[in-house]
Amino acid sequence: MTDRTKLLEAVLEIAAEAGRAIMEIYDSDFAVELKDDRSPLTEADRAAHAIIVERLGRLEPALPVLSEESAGHEVENRALWEAFWLVDPLDGTKEFIKRNGEFTVNIALIERHKAVLGVVVAPALDSAYAGGPALGAFRRTPQGLKPISVRRPAAEPLRVVGSRSHAGPDLAAFLDALGPHEIKPMGSSLKICLVATGDADLYPRLGPTMEWDTAAAQAILTGAGGSMIDLEGQPLAYNTGESLLNPHFLALGDDIRDRLTLLRQG
């Protein structure tokens, strides 16, 4: 399949199917396990992973899939991959367990270390987003996919979105130095999507995230006219080394880098 718009629509449907499977478990009395790193795991994570891997394999058989729930041996040769799918079957497992609805299915296409296509589906909120740098960005509505874009200029005071489950002292210090702002807590990759839709201006992430947490939403944000940069001002890149841990980053709507550069220097 070469038509990227059709590919985007197909991936959106795969994520929606995974979301339906997640919701069946969400509405049941599910159990919670702990992984080796003490992060939670549910049957919903596994069910969504199985659906996504199988459907992407049928859609693009030549492309490998790197999922948060992939076994180590399945991705041992990833340094050789020029293109692959990067997947978080259930981003925001803590929000899933809390039953607050702020969890997503994330699927991204990575080519030469860049997120070129992404889909984020929030099944409990009946929300879905899709896009890429060369595709634009869209939100799914009952009438179909509708274009979205970041807000320009940024609001005054700045509208900041922050992690509901991972706030910390670095973020508190950053916000204290930022100046006038309003902050909205949110879970999962929905924070980045809020910047893409123009409902927030800035998402500062000054704590650990993995590459599968951010790739899909980064593609959407870039398609909407925004950017995701590390604290040195460089776009986030993928599969560049042994670790899949992201650097600290900023998701920006309007280009407010000058203000943030002065903030960091101060």
Q: What is the pLDDT of residues 63-120, one digit of tens each?
A: 999 999 987 767 788 989 999 999 999 999 989 999 999 999 999 999 999 999 999 9
Q: Is 176 exposed, middle or buried (0-12, 13-18, 19+ CB in 10 A)?
A: exposed
Report whether pLDDT(168) > 60. Answer: yes
44 near 21, Cβ under 8 Å? Answer: yes
pLDDT value at residue 144: 85
Percent over 70 (pLDDT), the chain? 93
Q: Residue 153: is the preceding peptide bond cis (ω within 30°)? A: yes
pLDDT value at residue 257: 66
Report whether pLDDT(261) > 70. Answer: no
pTM of the model: 0.93
Question: Mean pLDDT in the chain?
Answer: 90
Which residues are CB-contacts of 16 (< 8 A; sequence separation ≥ 6)? 105, 121, 123, 128
| Backbone phi, psi, residue 234, to 5° | -100, 140
pLDDT value at residue 14: 98
Report whether pLDDT(162) > 50. Answer: yes
Overall fold of domain 4-147: Fructose-1,6-Bisphosphatase; Chain A, domain 1 (3.30.540)
Q: What are the extents of the domains in the chain?
A: 4-147, 158-265
pLDDT value at residue 258: 63
Overall fold of domain 158-265: D-Maltodextrin-Binding Protein; domain 2 (3.40.190)
